[in-house]
Amino acid sequence: MAFAIDIDRIDSSLDAGRPLSELTELFPNQLEALHYYARWAQHRHLEAGCKCELCGRDEKVRERVCSWQTIVHHNSAVPHSVLTTAVAIFGPQIMTKCHRVPFQSHHAICSPCSGRLKVRRGFAQFLRYLFFAVMFVSLFVAAITSVMMMATALQPGGVDRTMVGGLLTSLSALGVCGIVFAYCRRLSIPGGLREIGKYPFTLESVE
Protein backbone atom coordinates (compact mmCIF):
# COMPACT_ATOMS: atom_id res chain seq x y z
CA MET A 1 0.00 0.00 0.00
CA ALA A 2 1.40 3.40 -1.04
CA PHE A 3 2.22 5.94 1.68
CA ALA A 4 -0.08 8.98 1.36
CA ILE A 5 1.68 12.31 2.00
CA ASP A 6 -0.58 15.11 3.28
CA ILE A 7 1.18 18.28 2.05
CA ASP A 8 -1.28 20.64 3.76
CA ARG A 9 -0.80 18.94 7.10
CA ILE A 10 2.98 18.96 6.66
CA ASP A 11 3.10 22.67 5.79
CA SER A 12 0.79 23.50 8.70
CA SER A 13 3.08 21.59 11.04
CA LEU A 14 6.11 23.51 9.76
CA ASP A 15 4.36 26.87 9.96
CA ALA A 16 3.48 26.07 13.57
CA GLY A 17 7.15 25.45 14.36
CA ARG A 18 6.73 21.81 15.28
CA PRO A 19 9.93 19.75 15.77
CA LEU A 20 11.19 17.65 12.88
CA SER A 21 10.69 14.48 14.91
CA GLU A 22 6.95 14.98 14.47
CA LEU A 23 7.36 15.77 10.77
CA THR A 24 9.08 12.43 10.21
CA GLU A 25 5.87 10.62 11.11
CA LEU A 26 4.18 12.17 8.05
CA PHE A 27 6.69 10.71 5.57
CA PRO A 28 7.66 7.18 4.55
CA ASN A 29 11.11 7.64 6.11
CA GLN A 30 13.32 10.16 7.89
CA LEU A 31 15.40 11.01 4.82
CA GLU A 32 12.39 12.16 2.79
CA ALA A 33 11.20 14.28 5.71
CA LEU A 34 14.57 16.00 6.02
CA HIS A 35 14.78 16.69 2.29
CA TYR A 36 11.29 18.20 2.34
CA TYR A 37 12.17 20.45 5.29
CA ALA A 38 15.40 21.56 3.58
CA ARG A 39 13.48 22.64 0.46
CA TRP A 40 10.80 24.34 2.56
CA ALA A 41 13.29 26.23 4.74
CA GLN A 42 15.42 27.36 1.80
CA HIS A 43 12.35 28.68 -0.04
CA ARG A 44 11.17 30.55 3.07
CA HIS A 45 14.52 32.31 3.53
CA LEU A 46 15.53 33.35 0.02
CA GLU A 47 15.83 37.03 0.96
CA ALA A 48 17.21 38.82 4.00
CA GLY A 49 15.43 41.60 5.85
CA CYS A 50 16.64 45.09 6.72
CA LYS A 51 17.31 44.61 10.44
CA CYS A 52 19.72 42.22 12.12
CA GLU A 53 17.86 39.03 12.93
CA LEU A 54 19.99 38.46 16.03
CA CYS A 55 19.84 41.83 17.81
CA GLY A 56 17.37 43.96 15.84
CA ARG A 57 19.70 46.84 14.95
CA ASP A 58 19.61 48.35 11.47
CA GLU A 59 23.20 49.64 11.29
CA LYS A 60 26.14 47.83 9.67
CA VAL A 61 23.79 45.10 8.49
CA ARG A 62 24.80 42.72 5.70
CA GLU A 63 23.10 39.82 4.05
CA ARG A 64 24.69 36.57 5.17
CA VAL A 65 24.26 33.17 3.61
CA CYS A 66 23.99 30.40 6.19
CA SER A 67 24.74 26.87 5.04
CA TRP A 68 22.96 24.13 6.99
CA GLN A 69 23.43 20.41 6.82
CA THR A 70 22.50 17.17 8.47
CA ILE A 71 24.04 13.75 7.90
CA VAL A 72 21.87 10.65 8.00
CA HIS A 73 23.39 7.19 8.42
CA HIS A 74 21.77 4.01 7.18
CA ASN A 75 22.02 2.78 10.75
CA SER A 76 19.69 5.12 12.64
CA ALA A 77 21.27 4.00 15.93
CA VAL A 78 24.37 6.11 15.19
CA PRO A 79 24.00 9.34 17.21
CA HIS A 80 23.82 12.38 14.93
CA SER A 81 26.25 14.50 16.95
CA VAL A 82 28.88 11.75 16.87
CA LEU A 83 28.40 11.18 13.16
CA THR A 84 28.66 14.87 12.28
CA THR A 85 31.85 15.30 14.29
CA ALA A 86 33.38 12.16 12.80
CA VAL A 87 32.68 13.38 9.27
CA ALA A 88 34.15 16.79 10.09
CA ILE A 89 37.36 15.16 11.33
CA PHE A 90 37.84 12.25 8.97
CA GLY A 91 36.20 13.69 5.84
CA PRO A 92 34.35 12.08 2.92
CA GLN A 93 36.03 8.69 3.24
CA ILE A 94 33.48 7.61 5.88
CA MET A 95 30.50 8.87 3.86
CA THR A 96 29.85 5.66 1.91
CA LYS A 97 26.83 4.81 4.09
CA CYS A 98 25.68 8.35 4.79
CA HIS A 99 23.38 10.88 3.15
CA ARG A 100 23.96 14.63 3.27
CA VAL A 101 20.92 16.87 3.38
CA PRO A 102 22.03 20.51 2.86
CA PHE A 103 20.24 23.80 2.34
CA GLN A 104 21.01 27.53 2.49
CA SER A 105 19.17 30.47 4.04
CA HIS A 106 19.68 34.23 3.73
CA HIS A 107 19.67 36.44 6.83
CA ALA A 108 20.43 40.03 7.77
CA ILE A 109 23.18 40.05 10.41
CA CYS A 110 25.10 43.09 11.66
CA SER A 111 28.89 43.17 11.94
CA PRO A 112 29.09 42.89 15.78
CA CYS A 113 26.75 39.88 15.80
CA SER A 114 28.65 38.32 12.93
CA GLY A 115 31.89 38.61 14.91
CA ARG A 116 30.35 37.07 18.01
CA LEU A 117 28.85 34.28 15.94
CA LYS A 118 32.26 33.48 14.47
CA VAL A 119 33.81 33.22 17.94
CA ARG A 120 30.95 31.04 19.24
CA ARG A 121 31.19 28.66 16.29
CA GLY A 122 34.97 28.41 16.59
CA PHE A 123 34.76 27.59 20.29
CA ALA A 124 32.01 25.03 19.67
CA GLN A 125 34.10 23.33 16.99
CA PHE A 126 37.09 23.16 19.35
CA LEU A 127 34.95 21.52 22.03
CA ARG A 128 33.52 19.01 19.55
CA TYR A 129 36.96 17.90 18.41
CA LEU A 130 38.28 17.75 21.98
CA PHE A 131 35.41 15.67 23.32
CA PHE A 132 35.37 13.44 20.27
CA ALA A 133 38.91 12.45 21.28
CA VAL A 134 37.71 11.93 24.86
CA MET A 135 34.86 9.77 23.59
CA PHE A 136 37.21 7.66 21.47
CA VAL A 137 39.56 7.06 24.41
CA SER A 138 36.63 6.31 26.75
CA LEU A 139 35.21 3.73 24.35
CA PHE A 140 38.62 2.07 24.06
CA VAL A 141 39.11 1.97 27.83
CA ALA A 142 35.56 0.68 28.41
CA ALA A 143 36.04 -2.10 25.85
CA ILE A 144 39.39 -3.22 27.26
CA THR A 145 38.12 -3.06 30.85
CA SER A 146 35.02 -5.09 29.99
CA VAL A 147 37.12 -7.82 28.40
CA MET A 148 39.44 -7.93 31.41
CA MET A 149 36.49 -8.10 33.81
CA MET A 150 34.97 -11.05 31.95
CA ALA A 151 38.34 -12.80 31.90
CA THR A 152 38.82 -12.42 35.66
CA ALA A 153 35.21 -12.93 36.78
CA LEU A 154 35.61 -16.70 37.23
CA GLN A 155 39.01 -16.51 38.89
CA PRO A 156 39.34 -16.96 42.69
CA GLY A 157 40.02 -13.30 43.35
CA GLY A 158 37.05 -12.14 41.33
CA VAL A 159 36.81 -8.81 39.59
CA ASP A 160 39.21 -6.14 40.76
CA ARG A 161 37.54 -3.00 42.10
CA THR A 162 39.96 -0.94 40.06
CA MET A 163 38.50 -2.40 36.88
CA VAL A 164 34.98 -1.61 38.01
CA GLY A 165 36.02 1.94 38.79
CA GLY A 166 37.69 2.29 35.40
CA LEU A 167 34.60 1.04 33.60
CA LEU A 168 32.29 3.38 35.50
CA THR A 169 34.61 6.31 34.84
CA SER A 170 34.67 5.53 31.11
CA LEU A 171 30.88 5.28 30.94
CA SER A 172 30.53 8.54 32.84
CA ALA A 173 32.90 10.21 30.39
CA LEU A 174 30.76 8.99 27.48
CA GLY A 175 27.71 10.54 29.12
CA VAL A 176 29.53 13.86 29.52
CA CYS A 177 30.54 13.73 25.86
CA GLY A 178 26.90 13.38 24.83
CA ILE A 179 25.96 16.44 26.90
CA VAL A 180 28.84 18.47 25.45
CA PHE A 181 27.94 17.53 21.86
CA ALA A 182 24.37 18.76 22.43
CA TYR A 183 25.69 21.96 24.04
CA CYS A 184 28.07 22.59 21.13
CA ARG A 185 25.26 22.39 18.61
CA ARG A 186 23.21 24.90 20.60
CA LEU A 187 26.24 27.14 21.11
CA SER A 188 27.03 27.34 17.39
CA ILE A 189 23.46 28.41 16.47
CA PRO A 190 22.40 31.83 17.85
CA GLY A 191 18.92 32.25 19.26
CA GLY A 192 17.64 34.16 16.25
CA LEU A 193 18.41 31.27 13.92
CA ARG A 194 17.32 28.30 16.03
CA GLU A 195 13.83 28.32 14.57
CA ILE A 196 15.25 27.43 11.15
CA GLY A 197 18.18 25.41 12.48
CA LYS A 198 16.04 22.62 13.84
CA TYR A 199 17.59 19.42 15.12
CA PRO A 200 19.27 17.49 13.53
CA PHE A 201 20.48 20.29 11.19
CA THR A 202 23.71 22.06 12.10
CA LEU A 203 25.09 25.40 10.97
CA GLU A 204 28.08 24.61 8.75
CA SER A 205 29.14 28.09 7.61
CA VAL A 206 28.14 31.76 7.50
CA GLU A 207 29.35 33.78 4.52
Q: Is 104 within a domain?
A: yes
- Diameter of the chain by CA atoms? 75
Q: Is 132 within a domain?
A: yes
pLDDT in the model for residue 40? 94
The partner residues of 104 in beta bridges, in order of sequence, read: 67
pLDDT tens, residue by residue, 118-130:
999 999 989 988 9
Q: Is 169 within a domain?
A: yes
pLDDT in the model for residue 1? 47
pLDDT in the model for residue 200? 84
pLDDT in the model for residue 83? 54
Q: Is 21 within a domain?
A: no
Residue stretches of the chain with pLDDT short of 50:
1, 77-78
Task: Indicate the residue type of 191.
Answer: G
Q: Is 69 within a domain?
A: yes
Q: Is 125 within a domain?
A: yes
- Counted domains in the chain: 1
Q: Is 130 within a domain?
A: yes
Q: Is 15 within a domain?
A: no
Domain that holds residue 112: 45-206
